[in-house]
Structure 1
């Protein structure tokens, strides 16, 4: 096939991803210099369509970016009024006194929000400043310059046939070039993954770790609704099968966010994260809250959990990694949006200065240091050992030793140093023969639901004639290796039912239902053979989250 010719547009800064990091960067750039040409490219059908987060927002990033956000109508309407921490058993729960929790775990001053709606509002602020925002524009390729630097991206390629050849309505897309390119794609972004590998940005950092976060929005009985209440749980139903926990946030309009996180370093390939979430809702405490209510939305996405020691180098020739593309989540707080915003601000300030100095296409010296030495680094450094302690020694050690370590770090005393995470989540998966299958209760259709029913509440849509955006490096691996050795874990770790083994014996085939994909990236992370690569589908496809 002849090389595709594309038109090119030139900008000062090209930003991939209209999440909190990318939008913060865009806003800050225009605040510093209104004459800068800034574009934000978003793969979702609209800003916010692919945003899924808990979310209890620490407003530190928003305070730094738009101090008068309240007057400007930011959708932070529900301040946290009450914090609860519970350890669950199958039939009951034990409340952990708030006094035992390190101060950083206190949610006083934070807000229960829809990050999708926060991003929609931030996009309005950016556009008022003159930022160009193009939703429905998936960025499918990195464009490199003469010296190997990142020069831009390809966006807006549409109309390929299933085999990858141009279809009758093919549009080649455009190249968008910038003096600097910011990658704010979120966790395990496809371009970020390529750039990290090309420039060896992770050679000096620990392995990145991940969790799978699943979330439902429920409308509940008004008599049970407690606006502003935040509840976190650990323990049942995961027990020793996997690390993780839950969140239950009461927002406005009698709605509750019910979320569940499963750490992806579990050993037993029979673990079924989605069904652990569904089982959790049958705990007496949770079931009583949801009884008489209805589930109105569902979604899932991976969460970066490596923290301080797993952040790669943030600068590369021609650009920078922002927010969750680099992994800036504070695991015990289950918060990363504030750090994403702060990283966008820091990158914008570095780029604005560089452009003012007549530079472009080089290393944004100072950005990496600003992140590690500033508020983000301080936030992540205090909690850096919680995840590795949990991974190696289990929940109780994480609570005890990890809690003590957080208390000590609060006072500037680092006794344990910085612990290593060890294996990747894919490598942590053990052979099925070492573990027993897990018998999960069948969903009852009232509190718990099958995957395909729930996926319909993510409002996901993909044009079926396009190539599958979930690509196998070797088509023989799923049936030839993963099924006999690991009991076909992709049929379980995917929270959207994308992967299936159909048929029996020699007739078994591996089926990819890419139309179901909610873009969580778990397959790219957890596949034990690292045989699945997640790439972007054509722009606008995927989930359409209303107010996640």
Structure 2
């Protein structure tokens, strides 16, 4: 096979991923070592383009990064003004009292409802002003390895035709060489997975477990808008053994962020996270908030839920993990922006030290994390998520209250995640089908119209970035045992099982619909679906400033 000649660029540090963690890393590096050359690549078409609006963030890490934050016109415009946590039954809702006492993780006093895409764009502007070179539209395809250490990344080739041949506009990816490479790709990042496998970073820790967040942004009449209102729910429509719940935030100019998280350790192969999200809007506790409104954005993303006991080793020869690549989201809080940014700040400090001392591995990162509030915050929350998996929704919520009120997060034991999410499905023959209501196209919708609102686009003639490693495995496992769960858990309608002839089934993959949520990479029972980065700039393209 002919070796492709690639152009090379050299930097002191290459950061992969333009989310909060990557941008915080780049900014901090230029703040403390202005002479360091820093390059940041982002697979989206621009910074923030693949981050759906509407999130509650703690400003703690942002204030650490910018002590003069109040003078910088940061897009923190909607402080949390009112919050509720509800337990839902099919027709009713019950508000959890004394939230600060029973569920202190859910306390949002002093936090802000923001467009996270807009926050990232603002961070990108701060980074560029400090001299960071930012290249959107470039996906990291593989790690560049020299002498058994990561020496940078190779960006994806452009202009490859569907058959794998070089098209007329073929452009080989570049080698971005670096003394240190920082991986901040988000949950289930492909380069992070390469690093974890090659250097054994997950040895001795619990499996990472995930949730799928399916999200919409609505524009509502001004008279129905309640800026700063925050609502979370658990219970219906999920059964007692399935973790998840809904959120609803009012923010910005008459905008409402609504979504639903389903823990991907669920067991019923007939469950559809997308349909659970849609039917929850019909509940009286949510329905009123959409009155007279219009749905304007749709998206989905996997979230790390493993927490403290699932954090891998953070350093390897030539680089580090930070943000959701390492799994720093605080699931009981349903927040990861402040923890991602803090990990990025700490990664920058460790990388700067490694560069100064000419060390291959920024090994001080581990201790820096352990000495920070990031470590103590995640440690105190470590038993909440696994309690729900172990005992179910109601008993898990009871344990969460006991852990918070009596032990204050310092229980002398640690609950564990015993299984990866792909190991938890029950056979279809032993499972109950779920009858979901048909969409009314006013409040509830189908996948096709939803994907349209994500702005998803992939170069039409490129090879599919989703494929089966072995087609025969899909038939004998996914179809015969589990009745094609990927046709239900995918929130974008990528997967469809088709009967080509009597008793002959095949899987149709509509890769052009993919919103890059990574659920198939996580939940496929045989780990037979392969997700690889498409051409840079491909995928969802959300409005950044909304």
TM over 0.5: yes
1:506 to partner: Cα distance: 3.5
Matches within 5 A, 1:345-494: 345-359=345-359, 362-410=360-408, 413-415=410-412, 417-494=413-490
Query: 2:505 — aligned with what?
Result: 508
Match of 2:36, SS? coil
Establish whether residue 183 from structure 1 lines up as the match of residue 183 from structure 2: yes
Distance 1:240 1:99 in 2: 24
8 Å CA contact retained: 1:82, 1:230? yes
Distance 2:530 2:70 in 1: 41
TM-score (norm 1): 0.97
Match of 1:296, SS? strand
8 Å CA contact retained: 1:54, 1:259? no
Distance 2:24 2:101 in 1: 35
Distance 2:424 2:107 in 1: 32
Match of 2:223, SS? helix
Query: 2:323 — aligned with what?
Result: 323
Distance 1:545 1:326 in 2: 25
Query: 2:211 — aligned with what?
Result: 211
1:50 to partner: Cα distance: 1.1
1:507 to partner: Cα distance: 3.8
Distance 1:409 1:545 in 2: 42
Distance 1:277 1:394 in 2: 20
Paired positions, count: 543
8 Å CA contact retained: 1:136, 1:156? no
| Most deviating of 366-375 and 198-207 | 366-375
1:205 to partner: Cα distance: 0.8
8 Å CA contact retained: 1:386, 1:403? no
8 Å CA contact retained: 1:241, 1:271? no
Distance 1:189 1:52 in 2: 18
Establish whether residue 526 from structure 1 lines up as the match of residue 527 from structure 2: no
Distance 1:103 1:310 in 2: 22
1:480 to partner: Cα distance: 3.0
Distance 2:136 2:410 in 1: 46
1:368 to partner: Cα distance: 1.5
Deviations 1:306-357 (A, max 9, x none): 0000000000110000100011111111001101101111111111112122
Deviations 1:409-443 (A, max 9, x none): 53x6324x111111111001111111111111111
Match of 1:353, SS? helix
Runs of at least 5 residues in structure 1 that lack an aligned partner in the other structure: none
Runs of at least 5 residues in structure 2 that lack an aligned partner in the other structure: none
8 Å CA contact retained: 1:220, 1:292? yes
Match of 2:522, SS? helix
Matches within 5 A, 1:40-55: 40-52=40-52, 55=55
Distance 1:69 1:124 in 2: 14
8 Å CA contact retained: 1:185, 1:192? yes
Establish whether residue 539 from structure 1 lines up as the match of residue 521 from structure 2: no
1:103 to partner: Cα distance: 3.1
Query: 2:144 — aligned with what?
Result: 143
Query: 2:246 — aligned with what?
Result: 246
Query: 2:494 — aligned with what?
Result: 498
| Most deviating of 121-130 and 385-394 | 385-394
1:156 to partner: Cα distance: 4.5
Query: 2:106 — aligned with what?
Result: 105
Match of 2:481, SS? helix
Distance 1:297 1:338 in 2: 24
Matches within 5 A, 1:6-85: 6-52=6-52, 55-85=55-85
Distance 2:151 2:370 in 1: 26
